[in-house]
Structure 1
Amino acid sequence: MSIPIRFGYKASAEQFGPQELLDYAVAAEDAGFDSVFISDHFQPWMHDGGHAPAALPWLGALGARTCRILMGTSVLTPTFRYHPAVVAQSIATLAVLNPGRIVLGVGTGEALNEVTLGLDWPEPPERFQRLKESIALMRELWEHERVTFDGTFWKVEDATVYDRPDRPVPVYIGAAGPAAARLAGRIAEGFITTSGKDRALYTDTLLPAVADGVAKGERDAEEVDRMIEVKVSYHPDLEKARERTRFWAPLALSAEEKMGIHDPREMQRRAAALPIERAASRFIVSDDPDEHVERIAEYVEMGFRHLVFHDPGADQSAFLQRYADDILPRLRRRFG
């Protein structure tokens, strides 16, 4: 049995306020998207015009206004500013209110969200171990009535999440490197990454690492969703399609250029120095629907089965309409 291919909408929490973003996400369900995922940032990547609504209460509001879409975070970090037991409680409540519609996407985090709060920012190996332990603790709380947990980083004693869903909450792990991708394949229900990087990163590193994790965990490959946030700028005016990516220029900064930055003003300053060609480099920029679909199809051919589209424009209503009219029908005819 083949894994169904799903098409989602990325709710740009860094770009829009909570009410405007909520209206767009509701419109995404009406437009035929299968899922909505939202990032969880304490601070945005851009100071001017930036936003940072809290993801968990926002998902509650989205659930109340929709009936069909899968909803989740991409990604939340349950290891520093959140205690994983509190995340477990919050996600369980969302899952009870929206049965079968909640996903928890998690990652190791960014300095931008944690350092500002006075939290220590350890090296990647410790962040990775914290993530593994937090997932283990959350699952204990979802699956057992009374939990005592004595970990390296987290401890709970006689803890109970009293309102738990009837079915397990899927956990997706965000990964930009092989270790986290392998962990996703071994223990998670899904793997999350982002588009616009060298093809070899996906075909030679990340997806093989997921497969390796699946094998090590002795799992069925169809148990693990392979999700990618596809950055797209589709507009009938090609120059406008390119210029619309400017707000998201921070995405084009290298890991070295972003490392340790905790102030959105500094992130904005570095991004502003990039030429438009580099700012647009992470996006599929197109004015032709057939060519646009061909470039999206490359990710399906690599092995991704859940494509969440992130458009950089200020007018998300127009994006949703263009995708409903021109892109989603073509994708569904091609991939079912």
Structure 2
Amino acid sequence: MSHPIRFGYKASAEQFAPRDLLNYSVLAEEVGFDSVFVSDHLQPWNHDGGHAPAAMPWLGALGASTDRIIMGTSVLTPTFRYHPGVIAQAFGTLGSLYPGRVILGVGTGEALNEATLGIPWPESPERFARLKEAIQLIETLWAEDRVTFEGEYYRTVNATIYDKPSSPVPIYIGAAGPAATRLAGRIADGFITTSGKKPELYTETLLPALAEGLEKGGRAPGDVDTLLEVKVSFDHDHERALQDTRFWAPLALSPEEKMGVEDPVEMQRLADALPIERAASRFIVSTDPDEHVSRIREYLDLGFRHLVFHGPGHDQERFLKLYGDEILPRLRAL
């Protein structure tokens, strides 16, 4: 099975209040985007001006407000704040309300969203093992009734999800390293990662790991959707396009700089110290639509099929209309 090329909108839950975010996402459908993805964070990257709506009720509102877009999480952590059974129930409900339109994107999580609740934050191997087990349990609950599950981390006793998805809810795995990427290739319906990193991360690490996972799972390359969150700042005014990236400066922090940071106040302090050039370094910043599309095409040429665009500016209506008028038509013409 080969997945179609799709262009989506990243609903920036960390930046906008829930109602505003919903309005922008409805507009995204109107201007021609194919999908909307939202992160499920307990805390935002920035304390001042930050937001963190709960993704699951928000997706319910989005489904009721739109007609055709695919919608999902990029990503949600089904292993600490939530028991996997709760996620199976919630996405079973969403899948029955909006059949064929819901995707569950999952990942191993970040301390910022979990440790603040007093949850012990384990090392990467345990987080990875928990994610594998959680996915197994979620899929079992969707497939069977009266599930008694005895895992290393999660247990159920005669559990039934009574409102299962009326059509399959694909599970996508978000990854920035080879282990989770291999897992996505082996068992998931999709693979999620982000743009703006060194090219060799994609060509020498992630995409080879995905291919390895596909081979281990006995699957064809087209069996897994490849979703890339593409960080873009497009505007006719270059200085505006550059300055729009400031709110998202935390994304430019290295893993070492933000390792174990659990407080958005501290995350904001670290990010505010970055020069604007570094804050913008994860983004394609441009004013020329043809040059902009040319740089996006590099990711299509790598084999990514589902590009979800994250515009960093506070004026999302301006971003969506510019993208709908000038960028999406050029991308579809490719």
Give the TM-score normalised by structure 2.
Answer: 0.99
Residue 221 of structure 1 and its aligned partner are, at CA, apart by 1.5
Which residue in 1 is equivalent to 2:175? 175
Which residue in 2 is equivalent to 1:270? 270
Query: What is the SS of the residue equivalent to 1:297?
Result: helix
Structure-2 separation of matches of 1:210 and 1:168: 22
Structure-1 separation of matches of 2:314 and 2:160: 43
What are the superposed Cα offsets for residues 102-130 of structure 1, whole Å, 9 maximum, x if unpaired? 00000000000011000000000000000
Describe how 1:284-303 pairs up with structure 2 within 5 A. 284-303=284-303
Which residue in 2 is equivalent to 1:305? 305
Moved more, 139-148 or 51-60: 139-148
1:45 aligns with 2:39: no
Which residue in 2 is equivalent to 1:212? 212
Structure-2 separation of matches of 1:85 and 1:93: 12
Which residue in 2 is equivalent to 1:142? 142
Q: What is the letter of the counterpart of residue 15 of structure 2?
A: Q
Query: What is the SS of the residue equivalent to 2:109?
Result: coil
Describe how 1:47-62 pairs up with structure 2 within 5 A. 47-62=47-62
Which residue in 1 is equivalent to 2:132? 132
Which residue in 2 is equivalent to 1:240? 240
Which residue in 1 is equivalent to 2:187? 187
Describe how 1:91-110 pairs up with structure 2 within 5 A. 91-110=91-110
Residue 222 of structure 1 and its aligned partner are, at CA, apart by 1.1
Structure-1 separation of matches of 2:242 and 2:328: 21
Structure-1 separation of matches of 2:140 and 2:317: 41
Unmatched segments (≥5 aa) in structure 1? none
Which residue in 1 is equivalent to 2:35? 35
Structure-2 separation of matches of 1:241 and 1:168: 39
Residue 146 of structure 1 and its aligned partner are, at CA, apart by 1.7
Query: What is the SS of the residue equivalent to 1:260?
Result: coil
* RMSD of aligned residue pairs (Cα, Å): 0.7
Which residue in 1 is equivalent to 2:328? 328
Which residue in 1 is equivalent to 2:203? 203
Structure-1 separation of matches of 2:221 and 2:2: 10
Which residue in 1 is equivalent to 2:114? 114
Structure-1 separation of matches of 2:67 and 2:160: 29
Residue 326 of structure 1 and its aligned partner are, at CA, apart by 0.3
Question: Between the two proteins, what is the percent identity of the paired residues?
Answer: 70
Structure-1 separation of matches of 2:244 and 2:167: 41
Query: What is the SS of the residue equivalent to 1:193?
Result: strand
Structure-2 separation of matches of 1:327 and 1:145: 47
CA contact (8 A) 2:91 2:165 kept: no
Which residue in 1 is equivalent to 2:252? 252
Regions of 4+ moved over 3 Å: none
CA contact (8 A) 2:9 2:309 kept: yes
Q: What is the letter of the counterpart of residue 72 of structure 2?
A: G
Q: What is the letter of the counterpart of residue 33 of structure 2?
A: F
1:157 aligns with 2:157: yes
Residue 169 of structure 1 and its aligned partner are, at CA, apart by 1.3
Which residue in 1 is equivalent to 2:79? 79
Query: What is the SS of the residue equivalent to 1:72?
Result: strand
Structure-2 separation of matches of 1:134 and 1:269: 34
Query: What is the SS of the residue equivalent to 1:156?
Result: strand
Unmatched segments (≥5 aa) in structure 2? none
Structure-2 separation of matches of 1:188 and 1:167: 16
Structure-1 separation of matches of 2:202 and 2:300: 11
Moved more, 167-176 or 283-292: 167-176
What are the superposed Cα offsets for residues 130-169 of structure 1, whole Å, 9 maximum, x if unpaired? 0000000000000012211000000000000000123321
Moved more, 215-224 or 183-192: 215-224
Which residue in 2 is equivalent to 1:18? 18
Structure-1 separation of matches of 2:7 and 2:168: 23
Residue 333 of structure 1 and its aligned partner are, at CA, apart by 0.5
Structure-1 separation of matches of 2:246 and 2:165: 41
1:314 aligns with 2:322: no
What are the superposed Cα offsets for residues 62-102 of structure 1, whole Å, 9 maximum, x if unpaired? 00010100000000000001000000000000000000000
Structure-1 separation of matches of 2:23 and 2:311: 15
Residue 2 of structure 1 and its aligned partner are, at CA, apart by 5.0
Query: What is the SS of the residue equivalent to 1:78?
Result: coil
Count of residue pairs brought into register by the alignment: 334
Structure-2 separation of matches of 1:105 and 1:282: 22
Moved more, 181-190 or 158-167: 158-167
Q: What is the letter of the counterpart of residue 320 of structure 2?
A: L
CA contact (8 A) 2:74 2:192 kept: yes
